[in-house]
Amino acid sequence: MRAIMDNTQLVHQLICDFEGREYLIEVFSRPDGSHFARTVFSPQDVIISDGFSFQDALVKHQDLLPLAIRSRKMPRSLRLMN
């Protein structure tokens, strides 16, 4: 992941409150003008949403974050059934 991050620039950070917990969303720009948003749950558990623009990446990530949080709360046995 370090090689990917070398050519990017952090352009925005915000805290998203969901079900009483706070989650950090970081938005990065790439040299080609595209963006991605990232939330780190743990060093081995990261979600990333790509977008053509800052707004596109952020909106996608904010839509995805509740699903990502809820899926991590599900018992592992239920997640593996499908």
Position 81 pLDDT exceeds 60: no
Position 5 pLDDT exceeds 90: no
Q: Over range 59-77, report the average pLDDT.
A: 87
Question: For residues 46 and 58, what is the distance between their CA atoms, to the nearest angstrom?
Answer: 15
Give Cβ neighbours of residue 49 (< 8 Å, ≥ 6 apart): 36, 37, 38, 57, 60, 61, 64
pTM of the model: 0.81
pLDDT digits (tens, 9 = 90+) for 12-45: 999 999 888 999 999 999 999 999 999 999 999 9
